[in-house]
Amino acid sequence: MKSMQASARTGLRDRRSRIGAVSGHDRRRLPRLRTAWPVIVESADGRVVPGVVVDVSLSRMRIAADLDVRVGMAVTLRVTLPKETGRIEVLAKVTRRDANVIAVSFLTLSDDEAERLAPFASPGDIRRWARRVSVNLPIHIQVGLEGTVLGRAVELSTSGARVSSERNLSSGDVIVLELPRPEVGTALRLPAIVWEAYSGGAVLVFANLARADHLRLRDYLKHFE
């Protein structure tokens, strides 16, 4: 567990050094993540081929696919996301064609689709533009095998949370945040990474939420809007 946390901390520091300020409508500077996700590519003239996503950011994607397309041509992408997060369908423009790899930039990526994609591509950056609400909720934070820490959530969004805690957390900690049950349903247990830690509190980024948990969290937030 300690080696995993150390690795996570190193990765977080590396990402922080590469990330610039962005908004939900200007994602060009986001770093790309290497992947191996299945994708269906459909050209404007109706040809359909399977492919694999090679790397992705919130503005563009590279795909390994055997499809003869020209630079500037529009294609439709149906991408299957990992962790049972479902599928997104995006219209994109071909920006480069190199052997069997197609580079595209997104034309129609909605905020909802970007929100679902971001935890896999660049979890720190979605926290900058995801809508947040102020809360005051008692929480439990499960820190690996070290037990449970009590605290309070003071800010919450679909990408993460700002919390206070009885015990200091460390950047890179892999944790589970348990929120009290809303008016209907059971408590939410959400896997997260400590993105930033400070005395008495931390900023958390939710890590690869399943689609069902993402939808439950969105409904949960409506109680505070």
What's the confidence (pLDDT) of residue 211? 73
The pLDDT confidence band at residue 201, using thresholds 50, 70 and 90, is very high
Strand intervals (E) in 81-159? 87-98, 101-106, 132-143, 148-157
What's the confidence (pLDDT) of residue 130? 61
Q: Is residue 188 part of a domain?
A: yes
Same-domain status, 111 and 134:
no
- Looking at residue 81, which CATH number applies to its domain? 2.40.10.220
- Mean residue pLDDT across the chain: 77
Same-domain status, 28 and 52:
yes
The pLDDT confidence band at residue 172, using thresholds 50, 70 and 90, is confident
What's the confidence (pLDDT) of residue 83? 67
Helices (H), 39-178: 111-121, 123-129
Same-domain status, 62 and 47:
yes
For 162, the domain range is 127-224
Same-domain status, 143 and 101:
no
What's the confidence (pLDDT) of residue 26? 41
Would the pLDDT of 95 be above 90? Answer: yes
Last residue of a domain, one of 121, 152, 178: 121
Mean pLDDT of 43-72: 89
Q: Is residue 48 part of a domain?
A: yes
Last residue of a domain, one of 72, 92, 121: 121
Q: Is residue 180 part of a domain?
A: yes
What's the confidence (pLDDT) of residue 155? 93
User: What torsion do the CA atoms of 216, 15, 194, 106 make, to the nearest 10 degrees?
Assistant: -10
Mean pLDDT of 85-102: 88
The pLDDT confidence band at residue 171, using thresholds 50, 70 and 90, is confident
Mean pLDDT of 74-83: 87
What's the confidence (pLDDT) of residue 128? 52
* Number of domains observed in the structure of the chain: 2
